[in-house]
Structure 1
Amino acid sequence: MNLKKTLADNDINLPNNFFSNIQKYKEHLYKWNKIHNLTGAKDEATLNDFIYDALFPIKFLPQVDSLMDIGTGAGFPGMILALALPDTEVTLVEPLTKRASFLQFIKADLGLKNVRVVKKRVEEMESQIFDLITSRAVTDTKMLLKLSQNFRDKNSRLLFYKGEKVFDEVNDAAQDINYKIIEKDNRHYLLLGEDI
């Protein structure tokens, strides 16, 4: 995949410094991954797929002032969204030291003023309301709704990056909340909120 072309073909608008920042991010991730095994994305093609996957929702998301990513791991989707949305305050929640250290290093190296890294489990964080809460490959929808309840109000939206099990999960978990599922290839983006 030619990441730049694919993003342009999909009308995903990004800041001027996005591609230079994403290149530095990739280089650091390759180095850290050899030692710390941060992610399963070990080659250029897989990494580009992960980055595109993180960015695709920009097409349908409203602009938000604050975003929290639960279980950011090596940066998917939270760090990638932070690079793409410099006017959004992004809180990356990651309990594992090696991953949180990597995120902190990227924040410092790229001078990202819109990023805050929290090395905790989300359950241990102080309550705070975010406009958007994201999560990818952490747990099922029902548990994500429970984990996020102290961080959202009726105006907040949730975006969960899901696979095909999303249809079963949503029937089980989202009876009291509006939702829609946006399908793209093998990815199912579950968007939840009162006014979606």
Structure 2
Amino acid sequence: MAARDALQARLEQGIDQLGLRLPADAVPRLLDYQMLLERWNATYNLTAVRDPAEMITRHLLDSLAILPYVQGATLADLGTGPGLPGIVLAIAAPGREILLVDSNGKKVRFLREAIRSLKLEGVRALQSRVEDVEGQYDCVTARAFASLADMLGWGGQLLAPDGIWLAMKGKRPDDELPGIPPGFAVRGTHELAVPGLPAERHLLVIGRTSAKLVDGAGPGDALH
């Protein structure tokens, strides 16, 4: 229990530094997810991050940092891997329908076990290539999944007309901006400060160019 207490303290401190208010049961559920990932990772190699404390920082807090920008009733997380940021967002802000997409079979098996054991309502996992996924979503997330050109080229059809695409990147990807396909435009670039993580993190908010923009829209604002 001492180890879990230390991880809980690290997580709670990070959540506080991010300025987030989460449901009362979110912290224990996030820790349950981290422990499940740690257990499966020993056998299935789902993530290169193996230290539990680093998982708190590099997986949980890194995913939570985009929470203020998430909007809408439906979300698709592309190239989700072991559920990042999708499962973290499902725990931190329950109530929306979330589709977790990955082409890797062992990762999808882990996702389905996590959904079952954590009792995540409205969340489902799909083993598929992004270009074969159907439907449209109010919010699409992608964490270091591919270049902006590739991610929008493969999955741009999944973004609802008034939806937003949240592309999680390390360094600011200025060199990728010319590759954004026609019909999409960057609405905002945000530098994220992930507690305990010295590396750069940026979030690009992308929308369809046909959608009407609202001047001064910020985190959590509906961009209709």
TM-score normalised per structure 1: 0.92
For 1:147, which of 142, 154, 162 is the aligned residue?
A: 154
Q: Return the index of the structure with the highest Cα Rg.
A: 2
Deviates more, 1:105-114 or 1:184-193: 184-193
Alpha-carbon distance in structure 2 between the residues aligned to 1:77 and 1:8: 18
Which residues in structure 2 correspond to 1:158-173 (within 5 Å)?
Answer: 158-164=165-171, 166-173=173-180
User: Is 1:55 matched up with 2:64?
Assistant: yes
Report percent identity of matched pairs: 29
Deviations 1:10-63 (A, max 9, x none): 22121111111111111111111010000012112221112111111122x153
- Cα–Cα, structure 1 residues 62 and 54, in superposed 2: closer, same or farther, change >3 Å? closer
Structure 1: segments with no counterpart, 5+ residues: none
- Aligned residue type for 1:28: L
Structure 1 pair 8–32 and aligned structure 2 pair: CA distance change class (3 A): same
Q: How many angstroms does 1:184 deviate by?
A: 2.1
**How far 1:174 moved relative to its partner?**
6.0
Once residues 38 and 156 of structure 2 are traced to their aligned partners in structure 1, the CA distance between those partners, rounded to angstroms, is 35
Instruction: State whether residues 91 and 118 of structure 1, in contact with CA within 8 Å, keep that contact through their aligned partners in structure 2.
Output: yes
Structure possessing the higher relative contact order (Cα contacts under 8 Å, 6 or more residues apart): 2
Q: CA RMSD in A?
A: 1.7
| Moved beyond 6 Å, runs of 4+ | none
- Residue 93 of structure 1 pairs with residue 64 of structure 2: no
Please tell me the residue identity of whatever aligns with 1:192.
I
Farther-moved stretch of structure 1 (145-154 vs 36-45)? 145-154
Instruction: Find 1:110's aligned residue among 118, 126, 131.
Output: 118
Q: Is the 8 A contact 1:137 1:162 kept in 2?
A: yes
Structure 2: segments with no counterpart, 5+ residues = 1-8, 194-199, 214-222
Q: In 1, distance between residues paired with 2:143 and 2:60?
A: 12
Q: In structure 2, how many angstroms separate the alpha carbons of the residues matched to 1:91 and 1:85?
A: 14
Aligned amino acid, residue 62 of structure 2:
D
Aligned-partner residue type, residue 152 of structure 2: L
Superposed, which structure 2 residues align to 1:1-196 within 5 Å?
2-49=10-57, 50-59=59-68, 61=69, 63-126=71-134, 128-164=135-171, 166-173=173-180, 176-185=184-193, 186-193=200-207, 194=211, 195=213
- Residue identity matched to 1:48: I
- Note the alpha carbon deviations across 1:67-97, whole angstroms, 9 max, x for none: 0000110111111111112111110001111
Are the equivalent residues in 1 in contact too, given 2:71–2:139 (CA < 8 A)?
Answer: no
Cα distance in 1 between the residues matched to 2:173 and 2:47:
23
Aligned-partner Cα distance in 1 for 2:64–2:171: 19
CA contact (8 A) 1:133 1:148 kept: no
